[in-house]
Amino acid sequence: MGAQTAFTIGVDLGATKIAAALVSPQGQIVASSQAPTLPAEGEEAVLGRIATQVNALTAQSPEAVAGVGIGSPGRVNPDAGIVYNAVNLGWEAVKLAEGVRSRLANDMPVRIEKDTNAGALGEYYLGAAKDCRDFVYVTVGSGLGGGVFANGGLISGANYNASELGHLSLDPNGRECVCGLRGCAETVVSGNGLLAVTREKLAEGKISTQLTDSDSVTTAAIIAAARAGDELALAALAEVARWLGMVMAACAAVTNPALIVLGGGLGLAASEFLIPGACAELRRRVLPASHQPMQVALSQLTSSAVGAATLVWHAQ
């Protein structure tokens, strides 16, 4: 583990936007920026936009910047600096680390990692899992992802594909997933999953006093309806919570974590509905010894780019 003694720059590379931040050794965001990803313009253009943001933030730093960390979707080989199969970016194999480093105004190392692994590292250094040697980071947003720390180290897997929680098929006869499998966890445990569950209940004729038009239903509207006591919204969120509990049970059975950190836009916004139901389902599915020492906490990272910034400290 590296020491937090220098300023770093973190970049969260998404299909829609590139978020970057200059982060102090204390974890404070000194400066930040965003740019559209525009992956249709090609990988060279995306690499250029990342470098442009990094160069601008480097110029704003009060001290020398120790390096750049980038969290990316896809299957990421951090040792080779290559991103594979980033479907939302249209990338098959891109040398992300070298492509960005060669475009920087200042010579500095560029570290890359899967975006959810970067989030887990951020929680370890600066967030809810600070100094916790055994924890699972679960992020529920447009999809479902995770990162696992075991015995003080990040689990990457034999071909850098560990912690693909969203594509654990919990129902092989279930809803078709974008990955080609059926019944993947993220077909329910995600923003789109919550919408699908809600719309299915409406189509079945379930009554809602708050949600009447399935085409205009949003995740925010579902959460607001649940807070108002709407039975259909509560039932939909309970279903998402149950599936989240199955995912957490698998994590508990395999890794026996001391902590599960819940993050992501939907995970944080709906935590009051998701955590109790998920923990109840977890207790139904694993031995007490696997979950009794475990706690559940909410992510404390203020920006997705902060986790990426910690990649530099982690590599030192």
User: Which residues 6+ apart lie within 8 Å of 132 measured at CB?
Assistant: 124, 149, 258, 259
Angle of helix 304-315 versus helix 115-126 axis, rounded to 10: 80
Least confident span in 109-113, 210-214, 308-312: 210-214
The residue with greater pLDDT, 314 or 1, is 314
Whether the Cβ atoms of residue 54 and residue 101 lie closer than 8 Å to each other: no
Whole-number average pLDDT of the chain = 95
Cα 224 from chain centre: 24
Q: Which regions of the chain does DSSP assign to beta strands (E)? A: 7-13, 17-23, 29-36, 65-72, 75-77, 82-86, 91-94, 110-114, 135-140, 144-150, 153-154, 259-263, 295-298
CATH superfamily of 130-298: ATPase, nucleotide binding domain (3.30.420.40)
**What is the distance between the alpha carbons of residues 166 and 105, in angstroms, rounded to a whole number?**
38
Q: Provide the H-helix boundaries in 286-303.
A: 288-291
User: Which residue is associated with the tokens 């447009």?
Assistant: 142
Return the H-helix or E-strand segment holding 28: none
Each residue's pLDDT tens digit, 199-252: 999 999 998 999 988 888 999 999 999 999 999 999 999 999 999 999 999 999
User: 88 falls in which pLDDT band (50, 70, 90)?
Assistant: confident
**What is the distance between the alpha carbons of residues 219 and 19, in angstroms, rounded to a whole number?**
23
Which of the listed CATH numbers 3.40.50.720, 3.40.50.2000, 3.40.10.10, 3.30.420.40 matches domain 7-125+303-315?
3.30.420.40
Beta bridge partners of 136: 148, 260
| pLDDT for residue 3 | 67
pLDDT at residue 254 greater than cutoff 90:
yes
| pLDDT for residue 41 | 97
| pLDDT for residue 202 | 94
Each residue's pLDDT tens digit, 45-57: 999 999 999 999 9
User: 257 falls in which pLDDT band (50, 70, 90)?
Assistant: very high
- φ/ψ region of 37 (left if φ > 0, alpha if ψ in -120 to 50, else beta) reads alpha
Q: Provide the H-helix boundaries in 94-230.
A: 96-101, 115-126, 191-203, 219-227
Q: Over pLDDT 90: what percentage of the chain? A: 91
Type of residue found at 145: G
Whether the Cβ atoms of residue 226 and residue 208 lie closer than 8 Å to each other: no
| pLDDT for residue 2 | 63
Backbone angles phi, psi at 13, to 5 degrees: -95, 115
| Within this chain, domains 7-125+303-315 and 130-298 share the same CATH topology | yes
How many Cα atoms within 13 Å fall on the side-chain side of residue 239? 21
User: 124 falls in which pLDDT band (50, 70, 90)?
Assistant: very high
pTM: 0.94
Residue 268 CB neighbour total at 10 angstroms: 15
Q: What is the mean pLDDT of residues 241-266?
A: 97
pLDDT at residue 144 greater than cutoff 90:
yes
Cα 91 from chain centre: 19
Collapsed DSSP state (helix, strand, coil) of residue 311: helix
Q: Residue ranges of the domains in the chain? A: 7-125+303-315, 130-298
The pair of structure tokens assigned to 222 is 């579902």
Each residue's pLDDT tens digit, 273-285: 999 999 999 999 9
| pLDDT for residue 4 | 80
Q: What is the mean pLDDT of residues 92-102?
A: 98
